[in-house]
Chains A and B, each alone.
Chain A
């Protein structure tokens, strides 16, 4: 059992991590590098005099292959980590609720993971372009983890709870951290163009969704394979 869980998560994590990293290098990392130009001050959008205006254009990936290789490596670690949590949850659902684990169902698991781990925390703490000043790290990490846990519990109540009262309770648990609210600064400090930050948020969320659905699909696929053999 343990072997099947670990190997399923590792294989799924490698596949999803590689696909996600590839998409990040095409879509997300160029925006991140463009944001760093404003962080370092080599590009200015908000001039002291005159209207805010700056040229659009990412600087290209450049020759920092070491930096980009570790980005790929950490994507594999992150997706494998999330994959381990997902196969454990799949196994629990199968043992206690008789949920069938199939690749198709895995897509729903992946979407639920995306909602809990990416979308819900992003509602309060939008993914940050480098150079975006934000509140103290520790309270943000606490709110981020708390929101993920609450959203997971809420989704589980909706998916596996019996009766509409449990489902409504799930909705309340999901909304609670959003009502409490994420830690924010009292002032806006961003130096990058708002359009660039917005594009970074939508693109990083969109391609994380692809990564998560891929992860769910392959976690379930490999788990089902391992049980058959």
Chain B
């Protein structure tokens, strides 16, 4: 019983770590690829074209 609880706890904390990592990654990609604020769009413009984000 104790072992089972411990295993569950480890898996649970990994799931949180994966979720956190995913959210940070999506945040970075929103800034570099999707956000349409003019300053951001102009700065990221060449990179967005080169990486084929749908741009303007």
Determine the main DSSP class of B at the interface with A.
Answer: helix
Interface string of B34-54 (1 = CB under 8 A from A): 101000000111111111111
With contacts A122-B52, A141-B34 known, is A75 near B21, CB below 8 A? no
- B1-43 CB contacts (< 8 Å) to partner A: 11, 13-14, 16-22, 24-29, 31-34, 36, 43
The answer to whether A71 has its CB under 8 Å from any CB of chain B is yes
> Complex: how many Å from CA A134 to CA B27?
26
Contacts of A5 in B (CB 8 A): 17-18, 21
B25: which of A88, A204, A208 is its contact (CB, 8 Å)?
A88
Q: Give the residue among B17, B29, B52 with the most A Cβ atoms within 10 A.
A: B52
Question: Does A118 reach chain B (CB closer than 8 Å)?
Answer: yes
Chain A's closest residue to B36 (CB) is: A137
Which of A32, A82, A92 contacts B50 (CB under 8 A)?
A32
Indicate whether A78 sits within 8 Å of B29 (C-beta atoms), given known contacts A2-B21, A87-B21, A95-B11.
yes
Please pick, from B28, B31, B33, the residue contacting A84 in the complex, using a CB distance under 8 A. Answer: B28
**Residues of A contacting B: mostly:** helix
A151 within 8 A of B: no
Instruction: Looking at the assembled complex, report how far the CB atom of A38 sits from the nearest CB atom of chain B, in whole angstroms.
Output: 14
A14 interface hit (Cβ, 8 Å): no
A59 at the interface (CB under 8 A from B): no
Question: How long is the Cα–Cα vector from A82 to B51 in the complex, in angstroms?
Answer: 12
Chain A: residues with CB nearer than 8 A to chain B?
Answer: 1-2, 5-6, 9, 24, 28-29, 32, 67-68, 70-71, 74-75, 77-78, 80-85, 87-88, 91-92, 95, 118, 121-122, 125, 127-130, 134, 137, 140-141, 144, 204-205, 208
- Known: A2-B17, A88-B22; 8 extra A-B contacts, CB below 8 A, are A24-B50, A32-B46, A70-B43, A70-B44, A78-B33, A83-B25, A87-B21, A88-B18
Mark B residues whose CB is within 8 Å of A: 11, 13-14, 16-22, 24-29, 31-34, 36, 43-56
